[in-house]
Structures are given as structure tokens and as C-alpha cells.
Structure 1
Amino acid sequence: MTFQSKLSVSIMLLLALIKGTTLSAKTDKGNPILPGFHADPEILYSNQTGRYYIYSTTDGVAGWGGYEYFVFSSSDLKTWTNEGIALDAKSDQVKWAKGNLWAPAAVEVKQADGSYKYFLYFSAQPIEGKRKVMGVAVADSPTGPFVDLGEPLLAKNHPGCNGQLIDVDVFIDPVSKKPYLYWGNSFMAGAELEPSMTKIKDETVTVMTPKGGTLKDYAYREAPYVFYRNGLYYFMWSVDDTGSPNYHVAYGTAKSPLGPIEVAKDPIVMIQDPKNEIYGTAHNSVIQKPGTDEWYIVYHRINKHHLKYQPGVHREVCIDRMKFNADGTIKRIVPSKGLK
């Protein structure tokens, strides 16, 4: 590990100790919204607390070697507070893993008695084996403590799925109320979850990889994300390599949670803006402001000072408004300096 990487890790560990301290600056600071290096952001709104939460891959470590998920909370999507470590893949919290905690997904599920449970899905390096596998941990609070299932949720590929078991997304269909899981690097797969949220219905696994495209537009690479609006299921994904300035978000729509996906005529949601030194804008999640038709996209970008030095592991989390045309298509987003 380089001196700069060690310094970045030391700073992040120090920040982790300052639990409850507001770490992102005030509204006028804007993007990035989290301190230090973070990637693969997952945003969640909690009906239990009335706050927003971001879970992310800890970045700034050579070889994508981060092994902790920090969780940050906000009441306004602008000022974020470090709530500490949600999951540690090198501790007894995940006994079957030894590190490389990547790309979280999280969901709040209301229980029959009116309480809430939080499910945090993740990919990690197992103690045995060389390929990443997928896990899930459960908590009664969005900040944890999260308790791992005790074994991987998904440890092998299904037919037609030939890449790594990473970049998980979880989605509860507001129409059927059924939960779904999506994942895949070099492929996109989707499947229905059991009501327990901790088991995949194997018979429903569907390969959904969008066909065609190039690195200039929508060629699928990784990071599926799903949301629902006005009768349509929107599928988003990342194009190109996470270390490329061209890393960007594309999308399509479907009439059901398992596709098929129709790629949008103008599929690019967000792409680099070199004039303003903004690069690698991808691996995103989306949040709808409760009770409104206001939508926001949370994504990572390459820290401009690391564009030529380990760009794939020096990423930072940002947020922007996401708007729609009258026909439901997504208006292309110009990466900004942050919410006003």
C-alpha cells in the first residue's frame, strides 16, 4: 500500500471514531457530500426515523481492499453525519468473510407488529475461495448493529451468469409488494426473494443483461439499480470500468420487475464533464423524496486529483436532482457542485 493510501485509511479510521459528528460541511459545500474516499453509494429513507442514510464502499485503499461500511445520515440530503461502522467484514460480524466489502444495498421493511427491520446486502471475499460472494445482515435500526445471516446468501452463479457476484440491489415492488434482488458484473441477474428477505427463489432467477451498446452509450458492465415510477420499472446500470473517466450511467425500462428491459432511445443518464473536471460519474442509487415527485441520484465520481493515479480506488460520493420528461424518460443530468 502506498503512503497516500495509508494516510487516507488512517484519516477515515479517525473519522469513524467521531461518531455523531457532522462530517460533511454545510449546504454551501456541495459535492462531494461525504468526507474522504467512498464509492458505490446506497441511499435509504427510513420511515422509522424520518432520515436519509447512505451506505458505501470504503475507498482509498489499493486493490479495492476496504472491509467496512460506514453509514451516514441526513435530514435534508445536504448535511451528513457519520453514524459509525455498519458492517465490518474482518470482524466476527461476518464470520465467513475476510474482507473486500463492496457495493452495499439496503432496504427498510415494516413488520406485522408495526416495527421495522433493515436488510443490508453486500459482497465480500470469503475465507475459502477466490471469488466474491453475496451476503445479508439484519438490524432493527438503519445504523445497526447488523447481524449477518451466518453464511453467504449467494455463493455460486446460476446458468447464464458468468461474472462476479457483486453490485447487489434490492427492490420491493410497490405493485405486488414482492421483494427482488439484482446483481452482476458483466451480467445482470434478477430474482424474487422469499418473504424472509434472506433467501432467493432459485426458480425465479432471470438473466436480464441489456443487449448491445458500446462504451460510448449503454454497453452493460455492472451495478444494476431498480426503481418504480408511474407504472414503469426503471433499470439503471454502469458502463465501462470504474477507473475510467468514461464510467457512466445508462438506463432502460420494463413493465415487470424481471424485464425484459427496453433500452431508452437516449440511454445516458449521466456522464463525465471534463470542462468542470468531473469524471467517472456512475455506480448510483436513487431516492424519491417522500410524498413528492422529487427524485435524486446518488453516485460516485473519480477524485480529480487521482485521475492518473489509482483512479479506480479514489472515488467520492455526490448527489444531484434527477428529473423526468413528460413521457417518463429521464432528462440527462449534468453533474453539479451540489444541491442548492
Structure 2
Amino acid sequence: MKQLVLLLCITFSGLSLFSQEKIDKTTSGNPIFPGWYADPEVAIFNKEYWVYPTYSAKYEEQVFMDAFSSKDLVTWKKHPNILEKANVKWANKAMWAPSITKKGNKYYLFFGANDIQSDNELGGIGVAVSNKPEGPFKDHIGKPLIDKFHNKAQPIDQYVFKDKDGQYYLYYGGWRHCNVVKLSDDFKSIVPFPDGTTYKEITPEGYVEGPFMFIKDGKYYFMWSEGGWTGPNYSVAYAIADSPMGPFKRIDKILKQDPSIATGAGHHSVVQNPKTKDYFIVYHRRPLGETNGNHRVTCIDKLEFDENGLIKPVKITFEGVAANPLK
């Protein structure tokens, strides 16, 4: 009898703790989901938030991608293996930095693969397609969309951007060079700009990699990562322009390490809840004490602006953000 009573006490105690944990989870916490994940892109599909990160591991192990969805930014559901090497015959390692958009009834996932170091290697930026945001995604064109070093930009870290007029652009580039290209309607090729050029370099001061763009109050906010991705000083800076082509003059650094919380805060994306108008920045950082370059986690914090529309420095936190449902 005593054993039964003890078992019941333990059971109810466990349920109580579990329930209390559920009740007390009023913020997302950081990281927002477990596991080593980096380079997160956040999007909104079907009234849900979605995050598409890089699986942060040795290059030879980066042969798939997972996604995560949430109705409120607090509770996240994992969707494993949305893209796998088996569905991209030319990819063999280093599948990086997914960027996603919906066009028509299809979802298009742009990604880097193979970490090519010269024009003589196979790899670069590819595009995969699916009928659902959770995949499965399959190679859209059977080869890389961009497979050469144009304007000295390594073909990695792509961001697909839809302009106000409906035109889609791809911003990309590593090795301290950033290009923008104009995408064809079917996302199968690059098309020339009106002046006849194809790859426009738009590299701002301090740029290293990880470009991102959003529009606010008619202005183009262009953002990028600075510093080395394995170091503590990885960070994010930005510029504001009147055109998606720039020119992009660096304004300031807005995301960086806090030695009391985490280091290496960078390679981010931004989302706005259209209902509440709140902005959030989703990024990766390295937990204190971690020395392995691949030990990066995905986090979220508020993104705020001053009265002039300039971005305020982001305060990185352990708490993350409060629930912010889309409906």
C-alpha cells in the first residue's frame, strides 16, 4: 500500500510539474527549439510562423534540412528532413542557409550546397520546390541556379526577396561580396536587368555574408552579417535605401554578442506580425562556454525602431519573446 501511495504521489507530482511548466511558459525562451541550428530564415505561411535553419554540423553531415512551425512564437513543432541530399543529385555536403518564398500554389526553397571554392567545382545556389511549406522539397532545375563566382562573391547565403511590384530578386554572397540578381518568373534562371547586366554587386561597407531585406514605410532595409561566423564578434549591421538596388550605406551594427548571455549573434532574418505590427529578429548565437564552431542555436528577440525609423540595438535575452499569435 505504501508503495502504491508513493507511486501515486510521484505520478501526480510529475503531472503537477508538467502542468506548471506548461502554464509558466509565457515566453519562447532562447533557444526557441533544441538542437544545433544556424542561419535561420523566418516566414509566415497559412497563419503560422515558420523557421528554416541550417543544420549546424560538420560540412559532410549537412546533407538535410529541417523546419519548425509555430502558431504563436512560443511553442514550436519540428518538421524533419524537408530537404535531403537524395533529392538534389548535385549536392554532397554543406547544405546551407535556406531561403523560402511562396509563389502561386508552390513553395520554393533556395539553398547553398557544397561550399565551392572556385568556378571549377560543382555546387553553388540551388532551388527546390514543394506543394507544402513542410515539404518534401525536390530539386527544381536539376542543377545549381548560380554556380560561379560573379564579382568575387561566393555563391552562398541566398535570400529571395519579393519587391512591391511583384518582381523577385535573389541577394547572395560570401567572401565579403554581395550580388543581386533578377529571377525569372519560373525561378529556373537569372534574367538581365533593364541595363543588360545580370549580376549587380551591391556590397556595403563591412559586409561579410548573410544578406537580408525587408520593406518598412516604403524604405528598403538591407541587412547583413559581419565578422567571422566561428568567432564571438559575429554580428549584424544594416543600411536603408530608396531602391532594392541601393546604394546601401552602412548605418550601424544592431545585433551582437552579450558576454553575459551568448556570443556570435548573427546570420538573421526578420518577421512582422501583420496583426500586431510587432517585429521580431530570428538569429543564431553560440552558448557561453561553447568552443565548437558548429554549436549554434536559433533564438528570437524583439526588433524595434526609433522615431526616425532607425533600428534600435537588439537586446539578446534568455527569455525570448511573449506569445504573438497571427490570428
TM-score interval for Structure 1 and Structure 2 normalised by the shorter chain: 0.7 to 0.9
Aligned to 1:251: 238
Separation in 2 of the partners of 1:43 and 1:136?
17
User: 1:55 is matched with which residue: 43, 52, 56?
Assistant: 52
Separation in 1 of the partners of 2:283 and 2:298?
6
Aligned to 2:179: 189
TM-fit CA distance, 1:52: 1.1
Percent same amino acid at aligned positions?
39
User: 2:287 is matched with which residue: 287, 290, 303?
Assistant: 303
Q: Which structure is higher in RCO with an 8 Å CA cutoff and minimum separation 6?
A: 2
Q: How many residues align?
A: 290
User: 2:217 is matched with which residue: 192, 207, 230?
Assistant: 230
Using the size of structure 1 for normalisation, the TM-score is 0.81
Separation in 1 of the partners of 2:171 and 2:267?
14
Aligned to 1:106: 100
Mapping of 1:16-27 within 5 angstroms?
Answer: 26-27=25-26
CA deviations over 1:25-74 (Å, ceiling 9, x no partner): 9444600002110000011101xx21111111111x23574121101110
In terms of Rg, which structure is larger? 2
Task: Please say if 1:271 is aligned against 2:252.
Answer: no
Task: Please say if 1:94 is aligned against 2:88.
Answer: yes
SS at match of 1:210: coil
User: 1:140 is matched with which residue: 122, 128, 131?
Assistant: 131
Aligned to 1:73: 69
Separation in 2 of the partners of 1:129 and 1:75?
44
Aligned to 1:280: 264
Separation in 2 of the partners of 1:242 and 1:130?
23
Contact 2:115 2:123 survives alignment (8 Å): yes
Aligned to 2:15: none
TM-fit CA distance, 1:292: 3.9
Separation in 1 of the partners of 2:184 and 2:61?
31
Aligned to 2:166: 177
Using the size of structure 2 for normalisation, the TM-score is 0.84
User: 1:165 is matched with which residue: 155, 159, 176?
Assistant: 155
SS at match of 2:317: coil
- Cα distance, 1:303–1:67 mapped onto 2, change above 3 Å: farther
SS at match of 2:78: strand
CA root-mean-square deviation: 1.9
Task: Please say if 1:210 is aligned against 2:204.
Answer: yes
CA deviations over 1:70-111 (Å, ceiling 9, x no partner): 01110011111011211112x1x00111121011111122x2
Separation in 1 of the partners of 2:286 and 2:178?
24
